[in-house]
């Protein structure tokens, strides 16, 4: 959902140049472990590149419009909700019911879970323009769309509201010093109830 997920051609070439020259460690499989694991979830990068249809999900124009409408509708709900809801649990309330999508589209997204658990293990939804949305809208979109893929959201805290979320620099307040920049994580745990929707 973030533009920084799309590396430049130069960055991509540099990455693979480093990979080709990187020293590989050779290790033996511990006794008792299988030499080869056969499963749809096991693949090599060179193989998966030829199986694009199994992991790339191209959105149609109507589906993108539906996502945009769902983001807008959720933001309207937040603005018209009581203050305690607006500045507290709003993003934690994102479900397939509060992020409504057309039934056919919702069912299409739900079927992606089969590929996640029984297929290649990942899916890339293609077609959204990340430059169109604010960081908060991206968060709403991500939580809303994934709620249709899997209704139960994974959490990293006892309350069940902390999720692992990307925290790129473009989605954070400006750091006050070079040391702060160095400490900025690429990923972090984020409590959905802490995202009150204020833009900085």
DSSP string, 70-97: HHHHHHHHHHHS-HHIIIIITGGG--TT
Please give the pLDDT value at position 76.
Answer: 86
Averages of pLDDT over runs of 10 residues in the chain (200 residues) are 63 86 74 84 86 93 96 82 50 86 95 90 92 91 92 64 47 43 43 44
Please give the pLDDT value at position 182.
Answer: 41
Number of structural domains found in the chain: 1
Strand partners, 166: 187
62: in domain: yes
98: in domain: yes
80: in domain: yes
Q: For residue 137, give the nearest of 41, 70, 58 by alpha carbon.
A: 70
Looking up tokens 């809801």 gives: 85
72: in domain: yes
Please give the pLDDT value at position 162.
Answer: 57
Q: For residue 193, give the nearest of 168, 160, 169 by alpha carbon.
A: 160
27: in domain: no
Kind plus residue range of the DSSP H or E element containing 190: strand 187-191
Please give the pLDDT value at position 157.
Answer: 57
* Distance set, CA 57 to CA 35, 60, 65 (Å): 33, 10, 16
Please give the pLDDT value at position 185.
Answer: 43
Q: How many CB atoms lie within 10 A of CB 146?
A: 20
Radius of gyration of the chain from its Cα atoms, rounded to whole angstroms: 20
126: in domain: yes
87: in domain: yes
pTM: 0.62
Q: Which domain holds residue 55?
A: 38-152
**Contact criterion met (CB below 8 Å) for 137 and 71:** yes
How far apart CA 179 and CA 166 sit, in angstroms, is: 20
**Contact criterion met (CB below 8 Å) for 103 and 177:** no
42: in domain: yes
């Amino acid at each position: 959902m973030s533009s920084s997920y799309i590396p430049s051609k130069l960055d991509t070439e540099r990455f693979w140049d480093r990979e080709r020259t990187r020293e590989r460690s050779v290790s033996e499989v511990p006794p008792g472990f299988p030499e080869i694991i056969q499963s749809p979830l096991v693949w090599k990068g060179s193989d998966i590149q030829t199986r694009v249809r199994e992991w790339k999900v191209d959105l149609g124009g109507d589906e993108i419009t539906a996502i945009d409408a769902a983001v807008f509708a959720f933001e309207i709900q937040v603005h018209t909700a009581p203050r305690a809801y607006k500045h507290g649990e709003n993003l934690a309330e994102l479900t397939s019911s509060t992020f409504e999508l057309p039934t056919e589209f919702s069912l299409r997204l739900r079927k992606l879970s089969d590929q996640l658990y029984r297929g290649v293990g990942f899916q890339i939804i293609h077609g959204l323009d990340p430059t169109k949305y604010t960081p908060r809208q991206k968060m709403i979109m991500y939580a809303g769309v994934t709620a249709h893929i899997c209704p139960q959201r994974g959490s990293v805290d006892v309350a069940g509201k902390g999720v692992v979320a990307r925290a790129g620099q473009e989605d954070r307040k400006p750091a006050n010093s070079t040391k702060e920049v160095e400490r900025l994580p690429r990923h972090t745990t984020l409590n959905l109830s802490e995202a009150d929707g204020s833009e900085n």
